[in-house]
Amino acid sequence: MQTLGQISAPRAIPDLEQLPRPLYARAESLGAGSWTTRHRHDWVQFSYAISGVLGVYTSDGSYFAPPQWGVWIPAGLEHEVVTSMQAEMRSLYVRRDACTWAADECRVLEVTPLARELIKQFCQMPASYPEGDSAEARLVAVLLDQLQALPQVGFSLPLPRHAGLLALCNQLIAAPDQAQTLQQWALQLGCSEKTLMRLFQRETGLSFRNWRQRMRLLSSLALLEAGESVTDAALGCGYDSTSAYIAAFKQLFGATPGELRF
């Protein structure tokens, strides 16, 4: 789940000083290994995965959107977007004054069927769509209402700010199938297990066990997206039992690996 080795040219970022309307759409077909440089902009971004898995990386954590989910990125937040395999992405850029209700933190949201159809229709409209009492402006108003109501899901991976703990987390992310125990990690950091547990909870809001499970499940998305079998994905992300992996996967994503289409 680290950003990919950046061996290809970065994906272009729209050169916009301001949005032409309160809502602006961008449709993209992304190749494998697509990535952007770290950047920020003065509007909210909602990146929605029609197919493939999007990864959004910030200093506070990583956020993943499998098909039919999207990542809400606050205005002014530095971020980069990465796809390990081919993906179809729809991005909505929203003026701050058009979404005063928006949270000031990254979130992964489930795209409802109604929101999906509204996004599809909006992406066919011109960038400078008619405003005022027009059908286009009314569709935008309904779409914004739907975006506000999208349910949040737990596809994020919070990262600690503590330097030693962050280094540990990066080691785990780089090799999610590592089998080291909490005691072994505590020895590496030069502290007791209880201290490490308290530090992990304070820094990430999750227990060490829950953080590592979420990290492993999120890392398995790229394996599944690449066409690996469920068993190989389970083993590749550190699970010894395929059934345990499927049960944990369904608890987090609300669907089994086979039910999520990549």
- Give residue 1's pLDDT: 42
Q: Where are the domains of the chain?
A: 23-153, 161-253
Number of neighbours of residue 247 by Cβ within 10 angstroms: 11
CB 107 within 8 A of CB 118: no
- Give residue 154's pLDDT: 84
Burial class (CB in 10 A: 0-12, 13-18, 19+), 33: middle
- When the pLDDT of each residue in the chain is averaged and rounded to a whole number, the result is 89
Architecture of domain 23-153 in this structure: Sandwich (2.60)
Q: What is the pLDDT of residues 56-96, one digit of tens each?
A: 999 889 999 888 899 999 999 999 988 867 788 899 999 99
Q: What is the pLDDT of residues 159-212, one digit of tens each?
A: 998 999 999 998 898 899 998 888 999 998 899 999 999 999 999 999 999 999
Q: Collapse the DSSP code of 24 into the 3-class scheme (helix H, G, I; strand E, B; otherwise coil) and give the result.
A: strand
CATH code: domain 161-253 is 1.10.10.60
- Report the C-alpha gap between 206 and 197 in whole angstroms: 9
Q: What is the pLDDT of residues 208-223, one digit of tens each?
A: 999 999 999 999 998 8
- Report the C-alpha gap between 212 and 239 in whole angstroms: 11
Give 83's strand partners: 34
Question: Strand runs (DSSP E) across the chain, as ranges?
Answer: 23-30, 34-35, 44-51, 54-58, 61-65, 69-73, 80-83, 87-94, 107-110, 152-153, 156-158
% of the chain at pLDDT higher than 90? 64
Sign of CA dihedral 128, 129, 134, 140: negative
- Give residue 222's pLDDT: 82
- Give residue 16's pLDDT: 87
